Amino acid sequence: MKFVCLGALDKQAWSKLSPKEQEAMVKACTDFDEELYAGGHFADGFALQDTAAATTIRWKGGKATLTDGPFAETKEMLGGILILEAKDKEEAVRIMSRHPGIRMGPFEIRPADEAFMDQHPVMQKLKENGR
């Protein structure tokens, strides 16, 4: 059984850390990922770019409407994550605008932070193992 764990970042608290403290925090997180991987618990994961890169799609007035950002209302709950291959954000938005699920709630589309992923030790191991 797999679980998706969505990590939240308090950007205000993060900005109060020095660059050295931020680096230490990232290292602590990736070290824990290493521990999970070694124990067979780390199946897959993706770092996301900042929410400023997101687009939210809603069904409104009989059509898909777009809002820049992750403006999901608090009464809505995240129901799942779909990993989508697309050439760019515009194509991803076009594809997901046709998804029937937007009639029941919004999808947030955010590019994966591939630069981080390429540097993450566990991600490198998964790639070496054929991921």
User: Is the domain of 90 the same as that of 65?
Assistant: yes
- Domain span at residue 92 reads 51-109
Percent of the chain with pLDDT over 70: 76
Number of domains in the chain: 2
pLDDT at 74: 41
Whether pTM > 0.85 for this model: the answer is no
Q: What is the pLDDT of residues 63-118, one digit of tens each?
A: 999 988 765 544 454 555 667 778 888 988 888 777 756 656 677 888 888 788 78
93 located within any domain: yes
12 located within any domain: no
DSSP calls for the chain: ----------HHHHHHS-HHHHHHHHHHHHHHHHHHHHTT-------B--GGG-EEEEEETTEEEEEES----TT-----------SSHHHHHHHHHT-GGGGTS-EEE--B-HHHHHH-HHHHHHHHTT-
Question: How large is the average pLDDT for residues 57-68?
Answer: 91
Q: Assess whether pLDDT exceeds 70 at residue 22.
A: yes
